[in-house]
């Protein structure tokens, strides 16, 4: 078994990190808000590149993770955000 994430985990892990950074980013009293905002900007740059890569989408959609992170809409997979 590999110690590094495989393709089916790329998009779900990006989404997991985005949600956590967004929660820190929206809390006005959090001292890490500025850092979370900067991290979110950088993460989004690579997240959207990963979403555009057909290999990541196919790998995720062909795994059991597709039931958690995608919904079907007229034969298209739409990310659940």
Q: Specify whether the CB–CB gap between 8 and 30 falls below 8 A.
A: no
**What's the mean pLDDT when you consider all of the chain?**
76
pLDDT tens-digit readout, 24-51: 888 888 898 999 999 999 999 998 888 8
CA atoms within 13 A on the CB side of 53: 13
Contact predicate 62/9, CB 8 Å = no
Question: The pTM is what?
Answer: 0.63
Here the contacts of 36-45 (C-beta below 8 Å, separation 24 or greater) are 43/14, 43/17, 43/18, 44/18
């Amino acid at each position: 078994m590999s110690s590094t994430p495989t393709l089916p985990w790329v998009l779900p892990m990006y989404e997991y990190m985005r949600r956590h950074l967004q929660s820190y980013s929206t809390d006005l009293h959090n001292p890490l808000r500025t850092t979370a905002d900067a991290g979110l900007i950088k993460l989004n740059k690579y997240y959207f590149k990963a979403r555009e890569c057909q290999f990541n989408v196919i790998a995720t959609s062909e795994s059991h993770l597709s039931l958690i992170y995608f919904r079907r809409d007229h034969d298209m997979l739409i990310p659940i955000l």
